[in-house]
Amino acid sequence: MAKKVGVLTGGGDCPGLNPAIRGAVMRGLDFGYEMVGLVEGWRGLMEMKTTPLSLEVVDGIISQGGTILGSSRTNPFKSEDTAKVAGENFKKLGLDALIAIGGDDTLGAANKLFKAGFNTVGVPKTMDNDLSCTDYTFGFDSAVSVAVDAIDRLRDTARSHRRIIVVEVMGRHAGWVALWSGIASDADWILIPEVPADMNAMCAHLKGLGNRGKQWGIVVVSEGVVLDPNQADGIEKDDFGNIAHLAGQDLAKTIADYVKQATGIDTRHAVLGHIVRGGSPTIFDRVLGTRVGVKAAEMVEAGDWGKMAALQGNDVVAVPLDKAVGVSKTVPPELYDLAKIFFK
């Protein structure tokens, strides 16, 4: 029976992390667990930095964005030596179980820790909504809501000045944020990583808007869209091997310059970047974060190790981490076809 349970949040922050922490702690207290937070994700395990997670600590944090535990992109399995330290520190901290809250990288590390013989469970988190085996991840709804609000404001400027505005949103490998925010904000074109960018078709469409009396336009683009196959060469990467700073590629500016040259229409660009990560979580993300956090504590109580709490339909269920990590959930072609209906 677990007595001391650790909780960590790894990778990029997003709204919903605090509700998930709160849900796990509240349910863990029901089982009589001592709940402790590992500070700054896997770095907390590697450096043995912990903080108590009591009722008083988590009470009221459901409305707060970010994570009270802090986060990092530390990879405990970067080498054999770091993996050994991770296992040793797990024992030194006296942990009976660990709840890892994060995306593919964080949960991938949790899966490796489980396979090394340690009691771990996972909670899926990513504003990109690209984790497999779960219909939605908390952070996504909040991010899209912020993006849509920003695009709605940019539309007013585009209309007033008879401009096209290219809006770049987050999404490294999957275009869920771009697609959802583009559809919801009545964008005139959407570019996502899953579909090769047809710049000529896009520019012809944007230029043709004037034929129906529309003198402005909005293009939403995911930061992971590839215009040049060699564009990732030499770009800084994090401990997990992911490109660390996609914003440094000036994708939105490159597209805006191309559109202006091809169409002759005054074009501007805006990069929303980390703005969509912050702020209070939406109601959907507060409830989803709470539910998967609670489920994680219940999985600990049941000894259901090596699994994560996933939303499937309206149910939160335990699914093997092996099936959930390593393969991104990308936008299927039929959903992009849905968006194309509105490129008129």
Give the list of residues 6+ apart from residue 196 with CB closer than 8 angstroms, or none.
Answer: none
Instruction: Quote the CA–CA distance of 330 and 93 in Å, as a whole number.
Output: 38
Q: Where are the alpha helices (DSSP H) in 116-224?
A: 140-161, 176-184, 199-208
Tell me the three state secondary structure of residue 90.
helix
Active site residue 128: yes
Question: Which of 17, 26, 317 is closest to 8 using CA atoms?
Answer: 17
Whole-number Cα distances in Å, 12 to 73, 302, 311? 8, 29, 20
Counting Cα atoms < 13 Å in the Cβ hemisphere of 287 gives: 9
Question: Which of 129, 79, 110, 123 is closest to 239 using CA atoms?
Answer: 79
Cα-to-chain-centroid distance, residue 113:
22
The residue from 104, 128, 130, 285 that is catalytic is 128
Residues with a catalytic annotation lie at 128
